[in-house]
Homo-oligomer: A and B are copies of this chain.
Amino acid sequence: MTPEQFREAGHRLIDWIADYRAQVDTMPVRAQVKPGGIKNRLPESPPQKPESMDQVMKDLENIVVPGITQVQHPMHFGWFPSNASLASVLGDITSSGLGTLGISWESCPALTEVEEVVCDWLRQLTGLSEQWEGTIHDTASTACLTALLIAREKASDYSENRGGLQAESKPLIVYSTDEAHSSVTKAALLAGFGKTNLRKVEVDGGTRAMSGAALAACIEQDIANGCVPAVIVASAGSTGVVAFDPVAQIAQIANQHNIWLHVDAAMAGSAMLLPECRQLWEGVENADSISWNPHKWMGTILDCSLFYVKDPQHLIRVMSTNPSYLRSSVDDEATQYRDWGIPLGRRFRALKLWFHLRLDGPDAIRKRLRRDLDNAQWFATQVEQATGWRVLAPVNLQTVCIRHHPAGLEGDELDSHTLAWVNAINQSGEAFMSPSQLDGRWMVRVSIGVEATTREHVQRLWTLIQHSASQTF
């Protein structure tokens, strides 16, 4: 394809995207297709001849779009917000258009240095001190795995240079809670710690936050048993109910025993743009690594997960490679981000943050986040004041966990009722929420924070919910 052909098709695509984004609120929120419903409409064999942009756009419209659960829809209240602000989309388009290659500083100095700059901008915007240095990973799952790997190597005095984890004589232990994101368990297993060495520390029944006392006791016990506490993953905003583990208290325990502390703020990092929220992760300065995702609530398009460490040299020592074909004469003076994560080749992801922060500006982003916090408080108040309805956990940010609990309904029957009213709404395409379990029983997470979601949408949701619950009971 020539640049002129690209120009023509590109203009067409920009119009299509603008129209799509302007009309997203007219589509069903959840895709109305069954498994196989997309695949069955596509050819089993690859194309033999080139096809026209017309044909591709037709399939995009008729086959792909109906297969999308519209997370940019103002009535999307599922999982966590996954905002793709149009300013950041422009940055992403620029990255694609440039077609750069990030494998070393030399392969694209701008890719490295704009990343250094925007990571530092976000550090400042979230109130972190100058001791932190950041990079961009794809997701918090990868950032958590990286944190566990470098913690493992620190606790084992760099066993990778000897017989590896498999040669360690004392079990290395990972601490987290049952409320932590599933990626923590996954990372611990992939890093080789093993399920029996993963401690799910007790949480406070009301807040669902890790109990500092239980953590301390668990660590003491492990040490007495000849184990080596290696790493604690604290959730600053858990996935289920957005619980905040007490980072200050955990950091004190971690520092006392020289244990790596990783703070997983995947969702809640966005909130730290608001000074009034920062007490929620108080003590974070005493952690060893932090990750959070601008690609969630803040709205820099996926994939964009920030990973901060205090000591990049330790990170580099564990992750670095330096084959002859990647060397250049300036290596000592430049950052090599390949040594800050798992992949060698990297996209120019910093551009989407750069465009987003510059075109929208931090004030507009903060204003929107505060709007969502207000909406969540308003919604929680409605639920609390309604007969038979309960808010199940403190509303720390913008997620409200609710249950309709009619008198006399318990156990499996209550579960069936919960799933019935939420699934009825989800299936209708009018709104979408995530059912989730709390203590083994179903509840519904109402996660407010899509860029397009106003108070009016939240009001509409509350009407829908009440109606559905009354219909299915």
Residues of chain B lying within 8 A (CB to CB) of residue A386: none
Residues of chain B lying within 8 A (CB to CB) of residue A189: 160-161, 164, 318
**Which residues of chain A (66-87) have a CB below 8 Å from chain B?**
66-69, 71-72, 78-79, 82-87
B97, A20: Cβ atoms closer than 8 Å: yes
- How far, in Å, is A298 (CB) from chain B's closest CB? 13
How far does the alpha carbon of A301 sit from the alpha carbon of B99 in the complex, in Å? 7
B13, A93: Cβ atoms closer than 8 Å: yes
A68, B100: Cβ atoms closer than 8 Å: yes
Residues of chain B lying within 8 A (CB to CB) of residue A64: 98, 110, 114, 351
Which of these, B7, B323, B346, contacts A14 with CB under 8 Å? B7
A48 within 8 A of B: yes
Residues of chain B lying within 8 A (CB to CB) of residue A94: 13, 17, 60
Q: Which one of A326-334, A404-412, A462-470 is at the interface?
A: A326-334
Binary B-proximity of A162-173 (CB < 8 A = 1, otherwise 0): 111111100110
A10, B113: Cβ atoms closer than 8 Å: no
Residues of chain B lying within 8 A (CB to CB) of residue A435: 324-325, 327
Binary B-proximity of A45-75 (CB < 8 A = 1, otherwise 0): 1111111010110001001111111011000
Interface size on A, residues (CB 8 A): 166
- How far, in Å, is A172 (CB) from chain B's closest CB? 6
Which of these, B33, B113, B318, contacts A38 with CB under 8 Å? B113
**Which residues of chain A (443-473) have a CB below 8 Å from chain B?**
445
How far does the alpha carbon of A45 sit from the alpha carbon of B454 in the complex, in Å? 31
A14, B10: Cβ atoms closer than 8 Å: yes
A429 within 8 A of B: no
In the complex, the chain B residue whose C-beta lies closest to that of A335 is B35
A1, B166: Cβ atoms closer than 8 Å: no
**Which residues of chain A (278-315) have a CB below 8 Å from chain B?**
293, 295, 301-303
Residues of chain B lying within 8 A (CB to CB) of residue A326: 79, 182
- How far, in Å, is A76 (CB) from chain B's closest CB? 9
How far does the alpha carbon of A37 sit from the alpha carbon of B334 in the complex, in Å? 10
Binary B-proximity of A141-166 (CB < 8 A = 1, otherwise 0): 11001000100100000011111111
Residues of chain B lying within 8 A (CB to CB) of residue A164: 165, 189, 192-197
B197, A6: Cβ atoms closer than 8 Å: no
B3, A7: Cβ atoms closer than 8 Å: no
How far does the alpha carbon of A2 sit from the alpha carbon of B24 in the complex, in Å? 13
- How far, in Å, is A38 (CB) from chain B's closest CB? 4
How far does the alpha carbon of A13 sit from the alpha carbon of B31 in the complex, in Å? 31
Query: Taking the full assembly, how many copies of this chain does it contain?
Result: 2
B47, A358: Cβ atoms closer than 8 Å: yes
**Which residues of chain A (96-129) have a CB below 8 Å from chain B?**
96-101, 103, 105-111, 113-114, 116-117, 120-122, 124-125
Residues of chain B lying within 8 A (CB to CB) of residue A84: 96, 99
A344, B14: Cβ atoms closer than 8 Å: no
Q: Which one of A212-220, A244-252, A359-367, A377-385 is at the interface?
A: A359-367
Residues of chain B lying within 8 A (CB to CB) of residue A190: 149, 160, 318-319, 342
Residues of chain B lying within 8 A (CB to CB) of residue A142: 342-343
A325, B436: Cβ atoms closer than 8 Å: yes
Residues of chain B lying within 8 A (CB to CB) of residue A206: none
A108, B31: Cβ atoms closer than 8 Å: yes
- Told that A163-B194, A190-B319 touch, could you supply 10 new A-B pairs with CB distance under 8 A? A31-B109, A38-B110, A45-B124, A53-B90, A84-B96, A99-B301, A162-B195, A165-B192, A192-B192, A323-B436
| A-B pairs with beta carbons under 8 Å apart, 24 shown | A1-B359, A3-B21, A14-B14, A17-B93, A20-B97, A21-B97, A42-B114, A46-B121, A53-B90, A56-B359, A64-B98, A69-B109, A71-B101, A78-B107, A92-B96, A93-B96, A163-B194, A164-B165, A166-B171, A182-B344, A295-B345, A303-B343, A303-B345, A342-B342
Closest 8 CB pairs of A and B: A164-B194, A84-B99, A67-B110, A17-B97, A165-B192, A50-B361, A10-B14, A46-B121
